[in-house]
Amino acid sequence: MLPIESQKTSQIRFMLNGEETDVSFAPYKTLLEILREDLGHTGTKHGCELGECGACAVLLDGKPVLSCLVLALECGGKQVLTVEGLGEDGGLHPLQDAFADLGAAQCGYCTPAILVTAKALLDQNPHPTRDQIREAISGNLCRCTGYLQIFEAVEAAMLKIAGQKTSAT
Amino acid sequence: MPNERDPRVTRVGSLKANENDLRVIGVPRRRVDARAKVTGQTRFADDIFLPRMAFCKLLRSPHPHARIRRIDTSRAVAHPGVYLVLTGKDVPIQYGILPVSQDEQALCVDHVRHVGDPVAAVIAREELTAFEALDLIDVDYEILTTISNPEEALATSAPRIHEYGEEGNIHKLVALEFGNVEEGFAEADEIFEDTFFFQGNTHLPIEQHASVAIKDPDGKLTIWSSTQTPHYLHRALAKVLEMPAAHIRVIATPNGGGFGGKSDPFNHEIVVAKAALMLDRPVKICLTREEVFYCHRGRHPILMKFKTGVKKDGAITGMHLQTLIDGGAYGSYGVASTFYAGALQTTTYHVPRYRYQGCRTFTNKPPCGPKRGHGTPQPRFGQEVQLDKIAERLKIDPANLRLHIVESPNAVTANFFRLGTVNLSECIRRVVEVSGWKDKFRKLPEGRGVGLACSAYLTGAGLPIYWNKMPHSGVQLKFDRCGGVSIFCGATEIGQGSDDVLAGIVAQVLGIDPFDIRLFTGDTDLGPVDLGSYSSRVTLMAGNAALQAAERGKAIIAEGVAEKLEVPKERLSFADKRVFDSVAPEKGVSFEEAVCIAEARFGTIGTVGSYTPPKSPALYKGGGVGPSPTYSYSAAVVEVEVNPVTGWVTVPRIWIAHDIGCALNPTLARGQVEGSVYMGLGEALMEEQEFRRLPKKLSHALVHKFPSILEYKSPTSLDMPEVITELIEEPDPQGPFGAKEVGQGPLLPIMPAVANAVYDAVGVRIDEIPITPEKIMKALAEKKAGREPRFGPSHFPRINWPEALRVPPPWEGGDGNAVNDVPRRTRRVSKKEKVLTS
Ligand code: FES
Ligand code: FES
């Protein structure tokens, strides 16, 4: 008998980083597992697979979710954004630039999840206060930075995005 | 994008190089590996997926202490999708990080020593299949008495957790005396005796340990692993697999946080290597979070007693420190930790006479080992809290008291550690000033308070883990015709920025952009040995090796260009990707052309550099733990608010000054300071590796209280205070561009500073870490009842200490040897060493 993980009996079609994507997988798999194991998107990390660390956050229809707690089967027809889809026109997203410049990524393991979580924050609230930034990423543990350089990077990106918007109009 | 909040830098003295020439060093800069990290492309060990890859799971002991009578794997072997089942007899050779503690087996053969000790491994086509098959392995255990803490270990000589060690369940006893401490106490105006307890805690890197092993096409072994010490893993694999080390390649993948927790060779690494060789297919393991708690190697719980004699002005006349250390089930780095727990007391303040007695016991818990600060945060906590008590009794401001007793630069301490630059006084003055200490200490309203504490840390261990005379770090450079430079080095990137240190130094010397450099690091096949990312050694040791290699390359290129341009080579400058006449800058060539000129003249250009630390004057047995080329210093002021009803502690602000020598990349330096402060705060207030007994009607086993991230509390973004970082730069002659460490030292003052601040806020002493609301409430209740306003241990058990090795300190004419032991090195050699280092 085929081991259960090899029984790729489920299939969904969804938008992964803006691209229509089909994937077959064993029905019990989480979004985290199909991203990493079946779709080769290893940018999304894991630190517990129990919903405790926040390292696996991705955006599902624009909202941050812990991909280790989301069944892949629930994602059919939805939009999923991971760190791989954050860049724009071959360049870095302002958040990525700011994180890189300001020391917000030390080991970089928590970084992909914090980046997408911060993007969701800025999409929904273009001018968050320091406290709102703290609140938004309070479910993402980082053991390296002490968070302060992360806050500063989000604030720097916020200003840059706001600047781009003003110059565009 | 410059950062306005980069740390304030106070210069003491001037940098070695002309500051105008520094285009890379000292400039806040995007680290070289940043882009990979922010795009999710950094490849951690578990991100590796290879064709035909099989997955490994370990069956772990459910009992804290037992004999294995029998293991039956037949049902697991027969399970569909299972490729291989291994047990202890397949990998029986013992190993361990320290040569004196080769006490681990990749899979336990007949004795399990803690819940989580692995007894068998299943390798299967799918991870879930391997997991299912674990249930099909039958193990017959004979339960042994559990030893749950050091006092039980002292009282229980049998059963023994290990057949080696001092006796019974005592792993290691240390007794050292530097000068006559009793005379010191006789000279004192006041004697202070205090006991403290520092609970164990764990690293909690967000990345779980993972490894992938393959049999190479030519039959050799390659393993990718989240290890901080590829070189030591390399040696352990060669030993256990009985393979020539030359046929093993260890690639340390970037670690998703290490903090010391990935510094031992681990059973799972050996198991996947063995399985890959047997199956001839890639084998991967990634530990679950629960398993990471069983790997542990974190902070040792330590009970300690400080007896300190002081003069009325605070000058220390003598100090006696005793420690009782809970080692857990294996040796790990424990012998070193036992020495470290007594080593650095003399490096901050002048201690003229010092006695240290340390005892590490085995217990049936996951092994303890090195966590950020390795063995030194616990006694630093005790020492700095006791100093606060001393200052209060002597009615001296704690900052002034410390300023009065700070040890001098370049001193040789009572225990024969040679210090380098010491800017602890400057650190204290800076934090006192920026925190407004004078207006706050003992002046804030009830419930609010400030506390101050200091510390020192090594910039790299002076001795390697196994005895040898070779360099501690090597760097190889390849100069390319296209103007690119490749760096090959064993140094391991664990997030601290070791790649950036190497690239920054090489780029600075050659006048190129760090982005023009390619790095090949943490790979035992490609780069020369670097001992690993531990003991804060990489910046100084790999940095010096890189500096030497780059200077040698520069000399070759300068030779060629000088000839070509007919300019004396001393006059050539390397900057802005050009090599030019410093007198007539327009006369020059691009760096790329310069390499071509030199290659045409001298042939292919490659250089090497290496670094070996200076010899230490500490010649006595045990003097190998604690010496370092130089030490970093920190001082911190912590402000707290304590809720008198709930005991809840809030920390709004922390000021910290760190004596760094030179901040090679200030953005990263500040990140290390803040990350250390964060981790110290977690230890101070909440983090603890706790155990409990299961109910009697279950197994009554001693189990980890909460092996999960949810219940192992660590600070979140909501808990992080504002941190004001000050860097003190006085280039240390030992460091590259004068740099000293910054990755561990700034953690050390946080725990005692919090305790001292709590006392300032509500007048209770919490002599135990972590400082939880429950403990504060208990102490407040004591205070209310008119008893001693304190929470902490009340006694230190009796231990049969061996006779101390007596080492007269330098000011008593000591030569670094113990008078009651055979001299370890002759005078002749120690004279030569003076010549070398003068
Ligand atoms: S992996 Fe930790 S929350 Fe999902
Ligand atoms: S950068 Fe390492 S966990 Fe956040």
DSSP, residue by residue, B595-659: HHHHHHHHSS-EEEEEE-PPPPS--STTTTSS--S-EEEEEEEEEEEE-TTT--EEEEEEEEEEE
Question: How far is A75 from chain B, CA to nearest CA, in Å?
Answer: 22
- List the one residue out of A115, A116, A54 whose CA is nearest residue A80: A116
Closest CB to B717: pick one of A5, A82, A147: A147
What's the gap between Cα A124 and its chain centre? 15
Q: Do A72 and A99 fall within a single domain?
A: no
- List the one residue out of A128, A167, A130 whose CA is nearest residue A147: A130
pLDDT at B247: 98
Residue B283: beta bridge partners? B54, B213
Residue A19: beta bridge partners? A16
Q: Which two tokens stand for residue B550?
A: 């780059």
Give the nearest ligand 2 atom to A105 CA: 1
Mean predicted confidence (pLDDT) in A63-83: 98
Q: Which residues of B touch A98 (CB under 8 A)?
A: 1
| A99 to B38: CB separation less than 8 angstroms, yes or no | yes
| A40 to B49: CB separation less than 8 angstroms, yes or no | yes
Q: Which residues of A touch B81 (CB under 8 A)?
A: 3, 6
Q: How far is the CA of A49 from the centre of ligand 1 (A)?
A: 4
Q: Which of A85, A117, A152 is the last residue of a domain?
A: A85
Q: Do B778 and B697 fall within a single domain?
A: yes
Q: How far is the CA of B419 from the centre of ligand 1 (A)?
A: 45
pLDDT at B797: 98
CA distance to B176, B307, B345, B461, B809, per residue, from B415 (Å): 9, 17, 10, 15, 7
Residue found by looking up tokens 């902070």 in the block: B299
* β strands within B150-297, DSSP E: 170-178, 190-198, 210-215, 221-225, 248-252, 283-286
Query: What CA dihedral angle connects B419, B751, A109 and A99, to 10 degrees?
Result: -80
Q: Which of B576, B611, B646 is the last residue of a domain?
A: B611
SS3 of B84, please?
strand
* β strands within B202-315, DSSP E: 210-215, 221-225, 248-252, 283-286, 302-310
pLDDT at B2: 42
Q: How far apart are CA A43 and CA A22, in angstroms?
A: 19
Q: Do B236 and B325 fall within a single domain?
A: no
pLDDT at B81: 95
Q: Do B110 and B210 fall within a single domain?
A: yes
Question: How far is A73 from chain B, CA to nearest CA, in Å?
Answer: 19
SS3 of B832, please?
helix
Q: Do B302 and B245 fall within a single domain?
A: no
Q: How far apart are CA A30 and CA B445, in angstroms?
A: 52
The single-letter code of the amino acid at B56 is C
Give the nearest ligand 1 atom to A48 CA: 2
Give the nearest ligand 2 atom to B207 CA: 3
Residues 62-81 of A with CB under 8 A from B: none
Full domain range(s) for residue B248:
45-144+203-295
Residue B834 belongs to a domain: no
Q: Do A65 and A100 fall within a single domain?
A: no
| A109 to B44: CB separation less than 8 angstroms, yes or no | yes
Full domain range(s) for residue A63:
4-85
Question: Domain containing B697 — which CATH number?
Answer: 3.30.365.10
Q: Do B287 and B365 fall within a single domain?
A: no
Q: Which of A85, A105, A137 is the last residue of a domain?
A: A85
Q: Which residues of A touch B1 (CB under 8 A)?
A: 97-98, 101-102, 156
Residue B10: beta bridge partners? B728
Residue A164: in which H helix or E strand, if any? helix A148-168
- List the one residue out of B265, B489, B455, B251 whose CA is nearest residue B372: B455
What sign has the CA pseudo-torsion A28, A31, A33, A34? Answer: positive
Q: Do A115 and A60 fall within a single domain?
A: no
Question: Domain containing A133 — which CATH number?
Answer: 1.10.150.120
pLDDT at B682: 98
Mean predicted confidence (pLDDT) in A126-154: 98
Residue B121: beta bridge partners? B58, B86
Q: How far apart are CA B374 and CA B300, in angstroms?
A: 9
Question: Domain containing A73 — which CATH number?
Answer: 3.10.20.30
Query: What CA dihedral angle connects B564, B565, B571 and B574, to 10 degrees?
Result: -80
Q: Do B349 and B484 fall within a single domain?
A: no
What's the gap between Cα B420 and its chain centre? 20
Please tell me the residue having the least CA distance from ligand 1 atom 3: A51
Burial class of B102 by CB neighbour count within 10 A (0 to 12, 13 to 18, 19+): middle
Question: Domain containing B263 — which CATH number?
Answer: 3.90.1170.50
| B208 to A47: CB separation less than 8 angstroms, yes or no | yes
Q: Do B194 and B259 fall within a single domain?
A: no
Q: Do B518 and B428 fall within a single domain?
A: no
Q: Do A62 and A109 fall within a single domain?
A: no
Q: How far is the CA of B81 from the centre of ligand 1 (A)?
A: 28
CA distance to A146, B137, B753, B768, per residue, from B345 (Å): 27, 50, 16, 19
8 A C-beta contact, residue A108 and residue B47 = no
Number of domains, chain B: 3
SS3 of B419, please?
coil
Among the bound ligands, the one closest to the CA of A56: 1
Q: Do B430 and B575 fall within a single domain?
A: no
Residue A55 in contact with ligand 1 by CB distance below 6 A: yes
What's the gap between Cα B232 and its chain centre? 15
Residue B234 belongs to a domain: yes
Q: Do B288 and B326 fall within a single domain?
A: no
Q: How far apart are CA B421 and CA B503, in angstroms?
A: 25
Q: How far apart are CA B292 and CA B298, in angstroms?
A: 11
Residue B655 belongs to a domain: yes
Residue B529 belongs to a domain: yes
Q: Do A16 and A80 fall within a single domain?
A: yes
Q: Do A59 and A114 fall within a single domain?
A: no
Q: Do B734 and B781 fall within a single domain?
A: yes
Q: How far apart are CA B425 and CA B402, in angstroms?
A: 8
pLDDT at B22: 82
Which stretches in chain B have pLDDT values below 50? 1-3, 16, 827-838
| B206 to A37: CB separation less than 8 angstroms, yes or no | no
Number of domains, chain A: 2
Q: Which residues of B touch A141 (CB under 8 A)?
A: 206, 709, 714, 716
Q: Which two tokens stand for residue B3?
A: 């950062």
pLDDT at B831: 44
Query: What CA dihedral angle connects A148, A154, A160 and A165, to 10 degrees?
Result: -150
- H helices present in B763-821, as ranges: 773-784
- H helices present in B686-764, as ranges: 750-762
Sheet harboring B8-11: ordered strands across? B8-11, B722-729, B649-659, B631-642, B448-458
Residue B591 backbone class (left: φ over 0; alpha: ψ -120 to 50; beta: rest): alpha
Q: How far is the CA of B433 from the centre of ligand 2 (A)?
A: 32
Closest CB to A134: pick one of B38, B494, B717: B717
Q: Do B248 and B367 fall within a single domain?
A: no
Q: Which of B578, B611, B644 is the last residue of a domain?
A: B611
Q: How far apart are CA B523 and CA B704, in angstroms?
A: 35
pLDDT at B532: 97
Residue found by looking up tokens 């390619």 in the block: B518
Query: What CA dihedral angle connects B681, B340, B671 and B427, to 10 degrees?
Result: 80
Greatest pairwise CA separation for chain A in angstroms? 62
Please tell me the residue having the least CA distance from ligand 2 atom 3: A142
